[in-house]
């Protein structure tokens, strides 16, 4: 298994993305689908801090309930 990233903001960013995904009604599968499509990874643990921050911003700015409505 991949080790958790060491940057200090990781847990906070994951918690925020969890909250935003819940707000949007996204399932884990929908989150993975978005990560694969835009970042080429299946898990947030594989994202850099900038990528995870970008994913959070995307979620915060999204009003649609699924990642396919772009």
Per-residue pLDDT at 65: 61
In a domain, 66, yes or no: no
Kindly report the backbone phi and psi dihedral angles of residue 2, in degrees, each rounded to the nearest multiple of 5, phi listed first.
-75, 140
pLDDT at 39 over 80: yes
- Please report the pLDDT score of residue 15 as a whole number: 97
Residue with tokens 């689908």: 33
In a domain, residue 20? The reply is yes
**What are residue 40's phi and psi, to 5 degrees?**
75, 20
Is position 51 within any domain?
Answer: yes
How many C-alpha atoms does 34 have within 13 Å on its Cβ side?
23
Is 67 part of a structural domain of the chain?
Answer: no
Query: Domain for residue 13, yes or no?
Result: yes
| Number of domains making up the chain | 1
| Structural domain that includes position 40 | 9-60
Helix (H) or strand (E) holding 47: none
Which residue do the tokens 């921050």 mark? 53
């Amino acid at each position: 298994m991949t080790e958790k990233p060491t940057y200090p903001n990781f847990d906070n960013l994951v918690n925020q993305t969890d909250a935003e995904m819940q707000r949007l009604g996204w399932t884990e599968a929908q989150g993975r689908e978005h990560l694969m499509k835009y970042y080429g990874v299946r898990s947030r643990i594989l994202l850099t801090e900038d990528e995870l921050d970008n994913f959070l911003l995307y979620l915060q700015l999204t009003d649609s309930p699924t990642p396919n409505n772009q």
